Structure 1
């Protein structure tokens, strides 16, 4: 899978009808659009040069996933991050991926370990760069974990987790945006590799549990720092998203 710079969601462009949903979803879960921002069907249609019917269908799908909230007579709000849902999405991944990693432990080959080392090398290389790319780092993190699902022949499970993991995804972007957090993730990945190579299942599971649950403290700090991005925060609605801006980059630029 090739990395996409993922700027496409914010570009003015003509789309095919079937592309409206994935483009809007990526703009939301990638934090190109601010949680709490309100947009209208008219604005979306004009932005993407698309008719109302496919846009409405896409918004209904996103509403069913809890990624937008339909506001009668006012438009559509990008759903704020639901922290209780973040915990449930993370629990789902924890439960599934632990079993996947046990399967991986039982059947992996030296070439599979080589793939993990390469993914880890690329993460370290990115972390060493002056300008950090949070989305690319997270993509490489996904590539690392995808090796387990591929070897265990459980890619369907991975896709299912990703399909319902929009709130958790946004939280991950908010918690791994600095070099210290990235280096900690790298240390844990390295420890996982050590346990795998030693075929120590108990150690692997302990490291894995810590790896996915380490964000508890960081998440609480994020909720405190950006209360307006979460359901528990203020009900003030942002008037509209800045389509040509990148909300995650805006947070970095402001130094928040």
Structure 2
């Protein structure tokens, strides 16, 4: 990620953190087989730190061991994602209600500034969807921070295994970033007007839109990225 440098305790930690971030950013695709030999060669390490890294990834649900094949990046669970969106709508609605009551001009300017940054980003030639994803997250985090609900936001962000990867897929397949900015602008305007009902309706549509927009991708184009739901008898 841009502007961030990390120090790691050892090479094994570097391997673990790098692979984990690549899984979250979809550089390593759901269902993709990871070769221990390739990892060893890539990082210039022995099998011991690689196997330890893979073990940790498996414990956290990012990969599975597949007999006679190797290590596979886990698939996305659609039901998990739907429930996370449901939870986020419920939580964020309450947080924004609280924010509306106490929003100072300075906090409102923070939101306006993030929207302007998003507008500037999409004018950049060859900008990466990951960059927009980070800015989107930074904007939504503002009302959590302002209301003293940072831990709630951290809990939502910690749902990485399925929800974060789905959000990244959402931005990777998005072709109309101006629509997202329009929705952000609408949320800002409703906050200014203190229109609670309009805000709740707009927020729900905003957070659920990706599920509707990506129906084709989920069912057809990226079908192999998702666990197949069991059919009821």
State the TM-score bracket (shorter-chain normalisation). Answer: 0.7 to 0.9
Q: Distance in 2 between matches of 1:216 and 1:207?
A: 15
Q: 1:75 to 1:5 in 2, by over 3 A?
A: farther
Corresponding residue of 2:126: 131
Q: 1:197 to 1:29 in 2, by over 3 A?
A: same
Q: Distance in 1 between matches of 2:160 and 2:85?
A: 8
User: Which is further off, 50-59 or 168-177?
Assistant: 50-59
Equivalenced residue count is: 226
Corresponding residue of 2:158: 163
1:15 CA drift (Å): 5.4
Q: Does 1:231 align with 2:227?
A: yes
Highest relative contact order (Cα 8 Å, sep 6+), 1 or 2? Answer: 1
Question: In the TM superposition, what whole-angstrom CA distance separates every residue of 1:151-192 from its partner, at most 9, and x where no partner exists?
Answer: 122222222211223322222233334674311111110011
Corresponding residue of 1:63: 58
Corresponding residue of 1:253: none
Q: Report SS of the residue matched to 2:176.
A: helix
Q: 1:219 to 1:136 in 2, by over 3 A?
A: same
Tell me, yes or no, if the aligned pair for 2:11 and 2:49 is still in contact at 8 Å: no
Q: 1:168 to 1:5 in 2, by over 3 A?
A: farther
Q: Does 1:114 align with 2:101?
A: no
Q: Does 1:96 align with 2:94?
A: no
Paired residues for 1:1-256 under 5 Å: 4=2, 16-177=11-172, 180-223=175-218, 224-232=220-228
User: Which is further off, 147-156 or 68-77?
Assistant: 68-77
TM-score (ref. length: structure 1): 0.77
Tell me, yes or no, if the aligned pair for 1:174 and 1:222 is still in contact at 8 Å: no
Q: Distance in 2 between matches of 1:106 and 1:215?
A: 29
In structure 1, the gaps of 5 or more residues are 9-13, 234-256
Q: 1:20 to 1:157 in 2, by over 3 A?
A: farther
Corresponding residue of 1:241: none
TM-score (ref. length: structure 2): 0.84
In structure 2, the gaps of 5 or more residues are none
Q: Distance in 2 between matches of 1:19 and 1:190?
A: 39
